[in-house]
Structure 1
């Protein structure tokens, strides 16, 4: 079975990846979680969900995964975590798919990846905690940006983010029109 790695950390915004995770559960992909801490240490999401990750970032074998997903939250404490930045950079350098949403692209910035791609994020130059790692000249004021092997999105654009990641993973054909309609349009089913 193929695998997708979800990076979880204290404060990560679980709602930004919930639909993606749900859709992966019915696919040929297993979802594996990793955190910057020991796999025995619980991570608490922005919505106060407690998650026990499968692995620590030190245990990740990049070649085992088709993609890395980085949700938003408050990643500031992780900017100097070399294990986190090395893991992310390895995914990029190997051409693996990376999806980062909302504040997640900050971690791409900490690796230098934002110097090589166009991106979007739910951040502005007023977010002074992140000024040192963001390449603001490469930021696009768009809801979703795909460049090389990286997909970035604003936090409220989580459905389109999920669709693009799922397309790139071939969970459904690239020409499928409105594949996540169920999540966009209320029905009685």
Structure 2
């Protein structure tokens, strides 16, 4: 298996599982994962959040783990990466305000490189205006943004994922098995047990 270099853009209050699980899983498979956050440097940490459903109309939010960045966002050159991972949580709502984040996202679509986005991570794709003609899923409250972007929002169960061309999407962390499996397919990674 050829090692891939994967960029992961994270921020404070990104969903804990959607940062930690793909980061550790992709490293464990043998890929290089570079986790960065605008305004922060290698060795600094982001605060993650844990989202859960406890009977209210929407999810609750609690502090999650501190996650240490392993590179500087300002030094990122998108062409040096083979793929992109965009976790959800609250971080995407403010990360989309950084022009360099949007430029990074556009690069992966311009070059048709694999992109894995989950939950609210899809907000970075809608902000980058790269979704026209795609079929995808997201956390349900992001669905209207997906439709307004010229893409087709596909409601799915929380354990489902959708792949369309270079993009694999899922509504939330319960979809990790399918979402990550489809992402490995896009990367050309085969796991033999």
| TM-score normalised by length of structure 1 | 0.78
CA distance in 2: counterparts of 1:151 and 1:95, whole angstroms: 12
1:143-162, Cα deviation, whole Å (9 max, x unpaired): 32211211111102122111
1:40-97, Cα deviation, whole Å (9 max, x unpaired): 5421111432223223433212222221100110121223221111111111111111
Task: Name stretches of at least 5 consecutive residues in structure 2 with no aligned partner.
Answer: 51-63
- Size of the aligned set, in residue pairs, is 172
1:13-38, Cα deviation, whole Å (9 max, x unpaired): 13125443333223331111111123
Secondary structure of 2:120 counterpart = coil
CA distance in 2: counterparts of 1:17 and 1:162, whole angstroms: 12
| TM-score normalised by length of structure 2 | 0.77
CA distance in 1: counterparts of 2:137 and 2:131, whole angstroms: 10
The counterpart of 2:154, out of the listed 137, 140, 165, is 140
In the TM superposition, residue 5 of structure 1 has moved relative to its aligned partner by 1.3
Tell me what 1:162 maps to: 180
1:112-131 aligned at under 5 Å gives the runs 112-124=129-141, 131=145
Point out the structure with the larger strand share: 2
Tell me what 1:97 maps to: 114
CA distance in 2: counterparts of 1:92 and 1:7, whole angstroms: 15
Tell me what 2:167 maps to: 150
CA distance in 1: counterparts of 2:150 and 2:139, whole angstroms: 12
CA root-mean-square deviation: 2.6
Distance 1:57 1:136, change over 3 A: same
Tell me what 1:183 maps to: none
CA distance in 2: counterparts of 1:133 and 1:43, whole angstroms: 31
CA distance in 1: counterparts of 2:93 and 2:131, whole angstroms: 16
CA distance in 1: counterparts of 2:170 and 2:146, whole angstroms: 21
1:126-145, Cα deviation, whole Å (9 max, x unpaired): x8xx8499537611113322
Distance 1:88 1:124, change over 3 A: same
Secondary structure of 1:152 counterpart = strand
CA distance in 1: counterparts of 2:68 and 2:94, whole angstroms: 19
